[in-house]
């Protein structure tokens, strides 16, 4: 602008000098631009250049995808820090980025159009979209059914009121599992590294694990909408490990971890690569347990609306500082060694795979594990263990009765506790869960003794699930096939999860992204996720076949007066 004004006021000789100078300046600019493009290519890329990593897209689309990516990244980070604080904010932000990177890296760009939805902001785009699906699912009336209010005796534990405490002497029948008055809740010293605890009857003073215990009811292990759930998973994922000993019972290596505020978790280590499929020649009872199966089972159970698995999170621990250096378990510590590759390994003492040929190894110290919130101590809340009527023979040659007798369910239906209440349909719920995740190892299940037979079934021990995606195991669904009975709320939710808008694999993928270990690698690979959809369709077919066979009472109507869609 200034140049033009100057030109207008000067004579022809000076004009030609200025013209020459302008030409020179233009030539210099062109030279500079050329230099930039050829030598400093990366630094001088213009917004419209074709450096897009997505060749099939136009330049504008690319720049949109970048801006969308970063905005959805921040919105994903902020909304997840509000709703799903599984890891502290700074760490979470870092992990989200790591996650994004991972997804971007894994997506082949040639299938960009097919994955268009995901590609909008890659990892985060998928997260935001999927989270909408997950959020929509949990907003659906089938996940918010009106339920009768819980009465006093519907809670597993309760904090005694002052009156309770005063009447204690006269009240012989006071439940043993009720937590005593305040004095019991306080510890005077920071004993052996434990925090000083000063919990009162005020819920605000309780650590998340205690709130979880106090929230267990006759109906379910936790309320999906309880804000404490997010605090609990965050707590499990971040607490400093104070103690680690091997947990006895069961066949495979697992540890009992203690936290400074008296919380405890059950640890299952990663033993094989995440995607290793179970060896076809292994019997299910010799299959390795998988840490990601424990995590995925918790998410699946929650998506099915059951809430019968204790919350499980994945975590990276340091085998040396979190186990070897602090354990008081002498038998376990003797099994530590350094592998030829320089990794810290141990194998513990147990029935299966506790030998130097099957070590659990860090890289060199870092180990992926699952941590399951521990249920209240058995002394406080005793449990009853039930043998599954459809238990496998656990023999390489013998068949179980249910495998030989197609009318086996008729006899089960007549026996207590299956002849009464909801036990049979509760069992069928568990069979559906197990079929979806390919868990053949449900030999027993447990209930809380205090609730008698009117209660949910605990779905503990899911380490042998998600072993195979290429095959389904119809025998797991035999209880449904033989009994032809299913809870109506379960069936309706299964149907919902088979619709494209709520597709089980999609909501599962998103649900699993909430776990801290999702930042390392997806907790279930895509073939496992699509196996879920395939198996779900099979469950619905079995129910349809039952209905077509004119079986009486296929559907157990637990939704009196609720009619969202015809059966």
Ligand X SMILES: Nc1ncnc2c1ncn2[C@@H]1O[C@H](COP(=O)(O)OP(=O)(O)OP(=O)(O)O)[C@@H](O)[C@H]1O
Confirm whether residue 89 is marked as ligand binding: no
Smallest gap from residue 366 Cβ to ligand X (A): 23
Q: Is 22 labelled as part of a ligand binding site?
A: no
Lay out the sheet containing 264-269: strands in order across.
Answer: 243-246, 255-258, 264-269, 366-373, 312-318
Residue 473 annotated in ligand binding: no
Ramachandran class of 192: left when φ > 0, alpha when ψ lies in -120 to 50, beta otherwise: left
Integer Cα distance of 96 and 106 in angstroms: 15
Interacting partner of 375 out of Mn ion, ligand X, none (Cβ under 5 to 8 A depending on kind): ligand X
Pairing of β 486-487 and β 555-556 = parallel
CB-wise, 57 or 464, nearer to ligand X?
Answer: 464
DSSP structure string for 173-198:
T--TTSB--GGGGB-SS-GGGPPPPB
Q: How far is the CB of 289 from ligand X (least distance, A)?
A: 6
CB of 251 vs Mn ion, minimal distance in Å: 7
Cβ distance to ligand X smaller for residue 148 or 249: 249
Picked from ligand X, Mn ion, none, the partner binding residue 348 (CB below 5 to 8 A depending on kind) is: none
- Is 76 annotated as a binding-site member? no
- Calpha distance 553→545 (Å, rounded): 13
Closest CB to ligand X: residue number: 250
Among 322, 368, 426, 461, binds Mn ion (CB under 5 A): 461
- Nearest CA to 426 among 452, 455, 462, 451? 455
Q: Is 374 annotated as a binding residue?
A: yes
Q: Cβ closer to ligand X: 210 or 542?
A: 210
Instruction: Give a three-class secondary structure readout of 419-487.
Output: CCCCHHHHHHHHHHHHHHHCCCCCCEEEEEHHHCCCCCCECCCCCCCCCCCCCCCHHHHHHHHHHCCEE
Catalytic annotation on 434? no
Task: Between 460 and 507, name the residue whose CB sits nearer to ligand X.
Answer: 460
Terminus-to-terminus CA distance in the chain, angstroms? 76
Q: Which stretch binds Mn ion (CB under 5 A): 169-177, 200-208, 463-471, 517-525?
A: 463-471
266, interface contact from Mn ion, ligand X, none, CB < 5-8 Å by kind: ligand X
Decide: is 434 part of the binding site for Mn ion (CB under 5 A): no
H helix or E strand, kind and range, residue 38: helix 12-39
Q: Which does 87 bind (CB under 5 to 8 A by kind): ligand X, Mn ion, none?
A: none
Q: Which of 177, 441, 506, 515 is an active site residue? A: 441
Cβ proximity to Mn ion, 127 vs 254, nearer residue: 254
563's CB contacts (< 8 A; 6+ apart) are none
Residue 374 interacting entry, from Mn ion, ligand X, none, C-beta within 5 to 8 Å by type: ligand X
What crossing angle do the helices spanning 122-139 and 504-512 adopt, rounded to 10°?
110
Question: Phi first, then psi: what are they for 316, rounded to 5°?
Answer: -95, 125
Residues contributing to the site for ligand X (CB under 6 A): 249-252, 254, 266, 289, 310, 372, 374-375, 441, 460-461, 463
Binding site for Mn ion (CB under 5 A): 461, 463
Please list the active-site residues.
441
């Amino acid at each position: 602008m200034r140049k033009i004004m100057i030109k207008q006021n000067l004579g022809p000789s000076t004009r030609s000098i200025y013209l020459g100078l302008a030409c020179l300046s233009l030539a210099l600019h062109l030279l500079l631009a050329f230099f930039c493009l050829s030598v400093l290519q990366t630094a001088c890329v213009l917004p419209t250049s074709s450096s897009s990593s997505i060749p099939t897209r136009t330049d504008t689309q690319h720049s949109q995808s970048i801006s969308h990516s970063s905005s959805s990244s921040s919105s994903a980070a902020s909304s997840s820090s509000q709703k799903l604080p599984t890891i502290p904010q700074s760490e979470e932000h870092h992990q989200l980025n790591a996650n994004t990177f991972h997804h971007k890296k894994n997506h082949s760009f040639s299938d960009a159009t097919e994955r268009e939805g995901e590609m909008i902001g890659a990892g985060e785009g998928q997260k935001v979209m999927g989270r909408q699906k997950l959020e929509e699912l949990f907003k659906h009336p089938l996940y918010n059914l009106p339920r009768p209010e819980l009465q006093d005796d519907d809670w597993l534990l309760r904090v005694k009121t002052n009156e309770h405490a005063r009447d204690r002497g006269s009240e012989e029948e006071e439940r043993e599992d009720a937590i005593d008055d305040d004095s019991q809740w306080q510890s005077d010293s920071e004993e052996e590294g434990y925090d000083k605890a000063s919990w009162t009857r005020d819920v605000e003073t309780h650590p998340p694990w205690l709130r979880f215990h106090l929230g267990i009811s006759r109906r379910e292990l936790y309320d999906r909408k309880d804000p404490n759930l997010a605090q609990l998973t965050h707590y499990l994922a971040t607490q400093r490990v104070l103690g680690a000993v091997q947990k006895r019972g069961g066949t495979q290596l697992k540890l009992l971890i203690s936290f400074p505020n008296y919380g405890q978790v059950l640890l299952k280590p990663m033993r094989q690569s995440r995607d290793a499929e179970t060896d076809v020649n292994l019997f299910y009872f010799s299959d390795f347990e998988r840490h990601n199966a424990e995590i995925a089972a918790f998410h699946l159970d929650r998506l099915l609306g059951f809430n019968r698995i204790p919350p499980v999170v994945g975590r990276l621990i340091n085998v040396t500082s979190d186990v070897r250096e602090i354990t008081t378990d002498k038998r376990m510590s003797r099994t530590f060694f350094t592998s030829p590759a320089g990794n810290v390994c141990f194998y513990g003492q147990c029935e299966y795979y506790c030998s130097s040929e099957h070590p659990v190894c860090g890289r060199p110290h870092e180990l992926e594990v699952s941590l399951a919130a521990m249920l209240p101590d058995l002394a406080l809340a005793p449990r009853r263990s039930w043998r599954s009527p459809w238990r496998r023979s656990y023999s390489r040659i013998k068949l179980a009765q249910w495998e030989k007798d197609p009318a086996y369910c008729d006899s089960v239906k007549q026996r207590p506790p299956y002849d009464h209440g909801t036990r049979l349909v509760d069992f069928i719920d568990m069979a559906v869960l197990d079929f979806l995740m390919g868990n053949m190892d449900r030999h027993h299940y447990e209930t809380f003794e205090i609730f008698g037979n009117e209660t949910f079934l605990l779905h503990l021990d899911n380490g042998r699930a998600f072993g195979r995606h290429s095959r389904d195991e119809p025998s797991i669904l035999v209880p449904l096939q033989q009994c032809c009975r299913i809870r109506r709320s379960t069936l309706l939710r299964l149907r919902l999860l088979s619709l494209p808008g709520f597709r089980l694999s999609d909501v599962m993928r998103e649900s699993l992204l909430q776990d801290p270990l999702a930042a390392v690698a997806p907790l279930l690979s895509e073939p496992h996720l699509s196996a879920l959809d395939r198996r779900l369709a099979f469950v619905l077919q079995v129910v349809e076949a039952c209905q077509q066979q004119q079986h009486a009472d296929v559907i157990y109507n637990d939704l009196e007066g609720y009619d969202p869609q015809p059966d």
